[in-house]
Amino acid sequence: MKKTLLTSAFALLYSTGVFAQDFDKVEITTIKVTDDIYMMMGAGGNLGLSIGEDGVFLIDDQYAPLTTKILAAIEKLSTDDIHFLFNTHYHGDHTGGNENLGDKGINIIAHDNVYTRLDDGKMKTGMPIITFNDKLTFHMNGIEIKTEHYHSAHTDGDSVVYFKGKNVIHMGDIVFNEAYPYVDVPGGGSFKGVLAAVKDTLGRIDDETQVIPGHGPLTNKAGLQIYYDVLMDIQNILTPIAKQGLSLEAAKKLKPLNKYDDDYGQGFMDPDTFISIVYMDIFDNLDK
Ligand SMILES: [Zn+2]
């Protein structure tokens, strides 16, 4: 019960952007990943873009107050229309600009469960107009943009996006690069699912692949492998403690993740919140 309250409250704060900075001070930084593929950082989730002869394909849109700045940054790369906005999942730091962009007639696409979670009856123009349940491929700008759903990872509606032919992948919030990840358990996510999604991705990419994380700096296969190894180690540390039946408070007293807290607990997840969510998720799913 305690865990549910904690994580629900947290998810609410997170998705409404209460943790966001003063948006006036946010600057949008554009990083060229490779020819015609870009990453943008501002406040909230990292954006991904394909530009080219067919127009702009945009992944995620951060917070509503940043839309004008994001559009200005995109315009420096391309004056073509944004044809598609793809939401990697439902969180407000990735979909906050949906209504602004939907108002402009931009087609919004996401997994079925993103639609369900965004559907509060209030959003009129920011809802996805195309949803899918497994995989979807866009053929534009001379490449295939392949999106694929991973069930129950960061949320129950996560997608990763491969820019095929460019050897770039956007992982959404399955990857918080160089930081503890947030797992939205009330939103259908699971720590086990994050591990499975990262492992599956590692098997599909090569040493040259560039990896855009949902949060944190641009990385590659080696960086993703480190992220996976750390999360796997955390699972291996916490599982035997959970099997002993220790309460969350008793588990915390052991400081089992001490060796990672300094390096990984400075991002979106502080060490206490991280272990609270992940320990209880492992604890509740020991037999599954
Ligand atoms: Zn998220």
Does any domain span residue 277? no
Does any domain span residue 257? no
Does any domain span residue 264? no
CA 277 – ligand 1 centroid, Å: 14
Determine the pLDDT at residue 14: 52
d(Cα 105, Cα 33) in Å, to the nearest integer? 27
At 6-30, the pLDDT tens digits run 454 455 455 444 454 589 999 999 9
Name the nearest CA neighbour of 218 among 71, 61, 34: 34
CA 53 – ligand 1 centroid, Å: 31
- Mapped onto helix, strand or coil, the DSSP state of residue 142 is coil
Does any domain span residue 235? no
CA 154 – ligand 1 centroid, Å: 7
CA 78 – ligand 1 centroid, Å: 27
Q: Which domain holds residue 207?
A: 2-228
CA 83 – ligand 1 centroid, Å: 23
pTM, whole model, 2 decimals? 0.92
Question: For the chain, what is the domain count?
Answer: 1
- Inter-residue contact 188 to 157 (CB < 8 Å): yes
- Is 184 exposed, middle or buried (CB count within 10 Å of its CB: 0-12, 13-18, 19+)? buried
- The dihedral built from the CA positions of residue 225, 231, 234 and 238, taken in this order, carries a sign that is negative
Mean pLDDT of 39-55: 97
CA 274 – ligand 1 centroid, Å: 14
Name the nearest CA neighbour of 44 among 69, 14, 71: 14
CA 93 – ligand 1 centroid, Å: 7
Does any domain span residue 269? no
Does any domain span residue 249? no
Token duo for residue 102 = 């939907």
CA 62 – ligand 1 centroid, Å: 10
Residue 280: pLDDT band by 50, 70, 90 thresholds?
A: very high
Determine the pLDDT at residue 124: 79
87, pLDDT greater than 70: yes
Task: Look up the CATH number of the domain holding residue 39.
Answer: 3.60.15.10
The percent of residues above 90 in pLDDT, for the chain, comes to: 89
Does any domain span residue 76? yes
CA 283 – ligand 1 centroid, Å: 22
Amino acid (1-letter code) at residue 269: M
Quote the mean pLDDT of the chain. Answer: 93
Does any domain span residue 203? yes
CA 111 – ligand 1 centroid, Å: 14
